[in-house]
Amino acid sequence: MGAHAPLGREPDPAQAAEARAALVREIEAGGAFEDDPAWREVFQAVPRHLFVPYYYVSSTGAYERLWGEDPDPVRRARWLRGAYADAPLATRVRDGELVSSSSQPSLMARMLLELDVGDGARHDVLEIGAGTGYNAALLAHRLGDEHVTTVDLDPDITEAARQHLRAAGYRPAVVTGDGAAGCPQRAPFDRIIATCALDAVPRAWLAQCRPGARVLAPLATGLIALRVTDAEHAEGRFLHTPAYFVPLRGGSGRTRPEQHIGGLPRRALQSELFRFLLELTAGSLDPYEALALWQRERRPVRERFGVTISGPYEWAWLDDPEGPYAWPL
């Protein structure tokens, strides 16, 4: 368990505590703590504002910076409210492009629940995408610093995450490196959680997992939950939860070709589930073939899709890994 320490000019403790309690109540109302109430205490204990000393809000096509050191008390209050809103926060913008963010807390809670760390053995967890360090702090509070490793390609991001974690009283391993390569020096792991979008699951992750490990990662605007059998085999299904994350940068960055979707029915394009199918089959299925499949299978939900990794092959499928509908990733 970590103790809290101040970072710069602290907001009023009562206001921060009240805002944090309101956030926890909002997450709880959405049902994210039902199956594992211990996460409620974790979110109540870890102060999110220490991990977002500044962030950016989109305003008329540009980004406006809010920060906790602003001399204007009104803007400081606005920063604190935003820090405890159940919303993603843009934390790093370069040349107008978002490169890092703090995820929506309720989505983080659902992902941590699906990671299934339990209350028994202390699982060793690898997080891909350090971000602000907030998610690593939540894991460290639950599991202990020594069981958590977070990795990011950008040294500026990892250094900031390290500072935030120390300010909040947590010291998990923060590693600068290509997340697609995992973190072999800290392996093996029982759980891997990615907080960045993938095109395919890096094979290096499987080799760094213990048998039976669980991998949870954003893929094609969904969340795939894989059970690892060994260094060359894993399989699992998508969760029902939609997920939109900043793409993984490095060895397995997003490289799928742009799809030409002109002429597709507007009703289909407005469906989040159809866009998921388009993303999942990009480069493998023509968009019009994807549309025919979507209509023939009566608009299949995410949970009907899955991913299998076997040796050098990795494919997505509908209903059955060996069935008629499968696409290489």
CB 272, CB 263: distance < 8 Å: no
Strand 305-310 relative to strand 233-238, pairing = antiparallel
CA 207 – CA 252 distance, rounded (Å): 16
Q: Which one is catalytic: 59, 100, 102, 284? A: 100
Residue 11 in tokens: 């907001």
Residue 210 in tokens: 């213990």
CB 39, CB 112: distance < 8 Å: yes
For residue 286, which phi and psi values (nearest 5 degrees)?
Answer: -60, 140
The answer to whether residue 100 is catalytic is yes
Alpha carbons within 13 A on the beta-carbon side of 248: 31
CA 52 – CA 19 distance, rounded (Å): 14
Sequence-separated (6 or more) residues with CB below 8 Å from residue 149: 124, 125, 126, 127, 172, 173, 175, 183, 186, 189
Strand partners, 62: 59
Strand partners, 318: 305
For residue 218, which phi and psi values (nearest 5 degrees)?
Answer: -75, 130
Strand 233-238 relative to strand 125-128, pairing = unpaired
Residue 52 in tokens: 């977002």
DSSP letter string, 136-159: HHHHHHHH-GGGEEEEES-HHHHH
Sequence-separated (6 or more) residues with CB below 8 Å from residue 263: none
Task: Tell me the three state secondary structure of residue 86.
Answer: coil
Q: Which residues are catalytic?
A: 100
